[in-house]
Structure 1
């Protein structure tokens, strides 16, 4: 809930590639009305709004039936430690402008439900050898492209944690996996997509961090297969 249309648009864009439904309000009064009608999982509440500020909107929202425990996250540009402490006491969460995507995700992840199956996404399982010499050759042809992505694209995806970038990276990997008959890479790409869609930040960060490990395992598996297939 923010009176600045640019800020509302920025938040909406952050979640454009996720399955989450975003409700936007331009004032404190509209925030109260929207919360009462839609019963969201969490509210991002700008503190400084005209007519009705975020504190008053919070008070009125919590007077609504069944909204007493609705998580409300205060959003402010103030750097005053005294105000921050007061907001942390009265709101369920706190985030200061300007904030990064990762900072916003971490704050909201405390309140937005996600699938418990995300625990199974952690880590990269050991890569088995390719099914044939032909497949091993296709994996070796794939490796330079993966190493290029590791150097040029992957660092920005990890640092930015922008969901549209994660989705683009995942789709790119999935396409390479299919064209190269590489099931481990396809599984990895699918896990990235599932973690992003489930808003499972810890699993997503973990999976992204494992990309170099996966590339190294694919390298080892394809080389080993090539060596064992070479004539004596």
Structure 2
């Protein structure tokens, strides 16, 4: 998995309509994306830009994706750069050989969720705090420090049931850790929905707000913001624990 400040993705696709769709997903996810229209043009851009990930079609004019990928994999210092193939046909190549050549292989029509999930496998989303702040719109991620989150106005009965909420939040810790690793969009959306329901059930507004933000980030396929939002979960749990141990005035 590659790491760095801003990830670069090269999209090589001869069909303009498909190219636009494929480019839109990484761009919305916060990546620096460049395009090429065939394998030869793609190699020229590849050696000029040195991207962190290549997404290409197999069936292209001038030079197809098979030959372009072989040259990338055989190149000095470029063999480890992941290549994701997107195609409707392998043009006579066996699927086994195709899968052995490419790091990932998706058949058209490709769902946006599958595309983002495959990118997430090869790109490092544990970016430092500066990068997260630069790529996240104001207000889209709640403040990280728990003392910056406004304490809800809860009565004695509501405070009394917060230990139960703590237990239910702690019960999903392993699921949260898996989401931080996989960043699977559908699973993040489902997790956010359940956390919002918990917040509503226990009248915990900051949990509701955080979950709503996370769901919105997942809907936008913004992997940088999703990563930052998920990182706030331990702070959410910590604040609930703090409230659970607080006596009402």
TM range (shorter): 0.5 to 0.7
Deviation at 1:140, TM superposition (A): 2.1
> Does 2:112 align with 1:101?
no
Deviation at 1:176, TM superposition (A): 0.9
Q: 2 CA distance for matches of 1:185 and 1:157? A: 18
Question: Which of the residues 166, 177, 183 maps onto 1:161?
Answer: 183
Q: How does 1:126-165 map to 2 (within 5 A)?
A: 126-150=149-173, 152-165=174-187
* Structure 1 partner of 2:137: 116
In structure 2, the CA distance between the partners of 1:215 and 1:55, relative to structure 1 (3 Å rule), is same
Q: Give the alignment's Cα RMSD to 1 decimal.
A: 4.3
TM-score, with structure 2 as normaliser: 0.53
More helix by proportion, 1 or 2?
1
Unmatched runs of 5 consecutive residues or more in structure 2: 1-11, 27-32, 45-50, 56-68, 84-102, 105-117, 126-130
Question: Which of the residues 32, 35, 39 maps onto 1:54?
Answer: 39
Q: 2 CA distance for matches of 1:39 and 1:209? A: 28
Deviation at 1:82, TM superposition (A): 2.8
Deviation at 1:32, TM superposition (A): 4.1
Unmatched runs of 5 consecutive residues or more in structure 1: 1-26, 60-70, 86-93
> Does 2:54 align with 1:74?
yes
TM-score, with structure 1 as normaliser: 0.56
Q: 1 CA distance for matches of 2:123 and 2:230? A: 18
Deviation at 1:122, TM superposition (A): 5.0
Deviation at 1:210, TM superposition (A): 1.7
**CA contact 2:196–2:211 (8 Å) conserved in 1:** yes
**CA contact 1:135–1:180 (8 Å) conserved in 2:** yes
Q: How does 1:24-63 map to 2 (within 5 A)?
A: 29=14, 31-32=15-16, 34-35=18-19, 41=24, 54-56=39-41
Q: 2 CA distance for matches of 1:101 and 1:39? A: 15
> Does 2:236 align with 1:214?
yes
**CA contact 2:141–2:229 (8 Å) conserved in 1:** no
Deviation at 1:129, TM superposition (A): 4.9
